[in-house]
Amino acid sequence: MAKKITLIGAGLTGPLLATYLANRGYTVDIYERRSDMRNTSINAGRSINLALSVRGIHALKEVGLFEKIDPMTIAMKGRMIHDLDGTTHLQRYGQKPEEVIYSVSRAKLNMELMTLAEETGKVNIHFNQKCIGMDLDEKMLSFFDKKSDNEKEIPFDLVMGVDGSASAVRDAMISKGNFNFEFKPLGHGYKELTIPPGENGDFQWEPNALHIWPRGLFMLIALPNIDRSFTCTLFFPMEGAVSFESVQKGKDIEGLFHEQFPDAFDLLPHIVDQFQQNPIGHLGSVYCDPWHVENKAVLLGDAAHAVVPFFGQGMNASFQDCSVLNNLMIKYPDNWEIILSEFSKQHVPNGHAIADMAVENYLEMRDHVNNPRYKKRRELELKMECMFPEKFTPRYSMVSFHQIPYANVYARGEEQYQLLDAILDKYELDDVNETIARNFIG
């Protein structure tokens, strides 16, 4: 097979994957439907950020980009919970100083990844090219060229679909058959809002935390940006009595924020305008299996496993995909038949597991974090980790601070959950010591 690979999509996953491929000697063409964001001025008032953790950092280190990204990140050591009466309290993510996650600008990271890929000298990014179809038998891709307003066809040897949750490559793979696909809508959407720096130019809240306003059926979160603003995201039902459908008028928007998020309401300028002008994003999970067709096509990133954003893992999981594929490329040089089938075999269960865990974490974040039983369970799991560091690692830590495959994390997390509940059913938290716990852990 010619050492040329075609990628669809230059979002977060595409350029990273292209860099790995270039480093293995392949030349890569990426086709991206948008224009080059490096030539477009980004609206300074809206900075969108993401939480980066160990899986993503590992991949960025493998391609040599982390050192450049590191100064653009802000460490977040835990969840800062904002109660209705305005009091705040921090729930740490981990027990060790290095157990933090990092807020990073999506646009800056994406631009750095594109430049890094191009700097290999083996990657060409073609912008304004929307993939509109793929013929797997003829190995032909169809594009709409937004610059010339024309459709065109381009042959390929091997195509990698990194074109996000509504993947055109995946659609073509589905139509070929022998492919399981399910999209599970969450029923809740999101809206991003900005809190600018204060009058003194500084952050208006503690910057080294991910802020959460858990309100049962919905929640607001806020992540810090390096320009000292915060990006808030309201996660809210799409329909129903309290929902994006029912809250649209100025007075209802003000009422919602005033009642539910009073401390944020005071700092959100022009809340009605922001709310009415910013789009509603839809959320859902993609489950598909396998992720490849013969040695012709493969999906990575959101195209393979879009997940809801409540574990902060979509991008991290996507970056880990690239690292996993890279390891298979090293193990089976140029043998794409085996590389791709092993990729699906080994990694699809991990995509499904993080999709499930991410949905579960929505309930945890919007509701359980203030529940007394949750708090006791959390305290006990931290205690267990100190007593049995080799045997017990909290699920959040396994996901965010380790590289344990997600499917193993899910299974181990379930067992640990049962164990914590069994202990708490029998003992008061303060009474649990190593001897008692050992009886349960075995």
Ligand X SMILES: Cc1cc2nc3c(=O)[nH]c(=O)nc-3n(C[C@H](O)[C@H](O)[C@H](O)COP(=O)(O)OP(=O)(O)OC[C@H]3O[C@@H](n4cnc5c(N)ncnc54)[C@H](O)[C@@H]3O)c2cc1C
Binding site for ligand X (CB under 6 A): 8-14, 31-34, 50-51, 130-131, 162-164, 168, 190, 233, 281, 301-303, 309, 312-316, 318
112 or 302: CB nearest ligand X: 302
164 or 394: CB nearest ligand X: 164
31 or 275: CB nearest ligand X: 31
Which is nearest to 312 in space by CA: 85, 56, 136?
Answer: 56
Least separation in angstroms between residue 302's CB and ligand X is 4
300 or 384: CB nearest ligand X: 300
What does the chain come to in residues? 442
Least separation in angstroms between residue 433's CB and ligand X is 37
Backbone angles phi, psi at 6, to 5 degrees: -110, 130
Least separation in angstroms between residue 241's CB and ligand X is 24
Least separation in angstroms between residue 87's CB and ligand X is 25
The residue type found at 109 is: L
Least separation in angstroms between residue 419's CB and ligand X is 29
Least separation in angstroms between residue 441's CB and ligand X is 31
53 or 204: CB nearest ligand X: 53
**Alpha-carbon distance 137 to 135, whole Å?**
6
Tell me how crowded residue 427 is: count the other CB atoms within 10 A of its CB. 15
For residue 182, what are the β-bridge partners?
Answer: 287
The alpha carbon dihedral of 110, 355, 409, 373 has a sign of positive
Least separation in angstroms between residue 356's CB and ligand X is 16
Cα–Cα distances (Å) from 256 to 21, 148, 262, 275, in that order, read 48, 46, 9, 11
Rg over alpha carbons for the chain, rounded to the nearest Å, is 23
Backbone angles phi, psi at 132, to 5 degrees: -120, 0
Least separation in angstroms between residue 387's CB and ligand X is 31
233 or 323: CB nearest ligand X: 233
358 or 423: CB nearest ligand X: 358
14 or 290: CB nearest ligand X: 14
Chain position whose Cβ is nearest to ligand X = 11
210 or 380: CB nearest ligand X: 210
Least separation in angstroms between residue 235's CB and ligand X is 8
162 or 193: CB nearest ligand X: 162
Whether the Cβ atoms of residue 338 and residue 382 lie closer than 8 Å to each other: no
The alpha carbon dihedral of 159, 164, 165, 167 has a sign of negative
Least separation in angstroms between residue 56's CB and ligand X is 6
**Alpha-carbon distance 25 to 36, whole Å?**
25
